[in-house]
Amino acid sequence: MDGPPSHGRAFAYYTYGAASSLLQSLARDYPQLASLTTAQEAYGLRSAGTCTDSAGHQGPCLNHIIQISNRSANAAVLSARPQIYISGALHGDEQVGIVTALELCRWLLTRYATDDWVRRLVDTRMVLISPMTNAVGSATRRRDELGIDPNRDFPFDQSAGSCMQTVTARTVNEIYRAHLLQLVVTFHGGMQAPRTRYPASPRRPAGETPRAPLRRRSGTTGAPTRTGGACRAARPTTLRCGTWRRSCLDTPARGASTARRTATRR
């Protein structure tokens, strides 16, 4: 995975150590364009679990966040730029998001000097990227963070005391509180699971549960089903991404007025 991208270059999944090392090298090689921090450093969050770095040393799993923007402008200009957030691997076993997010970092930085379009983007936008949003899950190739699904850890269909238990969810929450984001992209992919066509569709026959069509297709009654070599429990998926803008925490937003930040998806 070293070196600038080239036509036909093969891609492969990253280890936690290799991904961390690449982020550090990009921030070091492009100091005027990239700034690297962690959720632990920026927001005072704890670490979830132990990870192995590129040198083989074990230490706390860090939730890296890289900010890409032309930093030669003053702070007022930087803060006024439209802000974009890219999240990879909220589920640690969905490794495509890590590769995609890291390649975006590399692409923006290595092409800045030669690509007018990229240069305009980096000069006029602030791009925040957390390639391994679920750091410990990314390191262990697990969907969850220490037994909790981060994408079920947002304030939806649960009491206030039952959410924001994971460092992953808190990292996303803090990024939302600290920035007035214009666009958010979260990557989910790189694993396989049977899915229903309509978990909550009005076309579902009356009295039929969301799991019924999946059972009919897979011939199961809720037992794990093998699809494409991956074994997952046969169950519908509830999307939670629309709840990222809401917080369990009764605290004011950072970096923007509360009135501007309380708008949620209707």
Residue 11's pLDDT is 84
Contact 63, 43 (CB under 8 A): no
Contact 177, 42 (CB under 8 A): no
List CB contacts of 107: < 8 A, sequence separation 6 or more. Answer: 5, 118
List CB contacts of 34: < 8 A, sequence separation 6 or more. Answer: 26, 27, 66, 67, 68, 105, 109
Residue 162's pLDDT is 81
Structure tokens at 8: 């036909």
What domains can you pick out in the chain, each with its CATH number? 16-193 (3.40.630.10)
User: Position of tokens 């702070």?
Assistant: 75
Residue 208's pLDDT is 56
pTM reported for the whole predicted model: 0.72
Residue 199's pLDDT is 52
3-state secondary structure of 148: strand
Residue 245's pLDDT is 46
- For residue 68, how far is the Cα from the chain centroid? 16
The crossing angle, in degrees rounded to 10, of helices 16-29 and 96-110 is: 10
Task: Using DSSP bridges, classify how beta strands 83-88 and 230-232 pair: parallel, antiparallel or unpaired.
Answer: unpaired
Task: Using DSSP bridges, classify how beta strands 50-52 and 58-60 pair: parallel, antiparallel or unpaired.
Answer: antiparallel
Burial class (CB within 10 angstroms; exposed 0-12, middle 13-18, buried 19+) of 92: buried
Mean pLDDT per 10-residue interval, the chain, length 266 residues:
55 94 98 97 96 96 97 86 96 94 96 96 97 97 94 81 90 95 90 57 56 50 37 39 44 39 36
Alpha helices, DSSP H only, in the chain?
A: 16-29, 39-43, 75-80, 96-110, 116-124, 135-140, 167-178, 212-218, 258-261
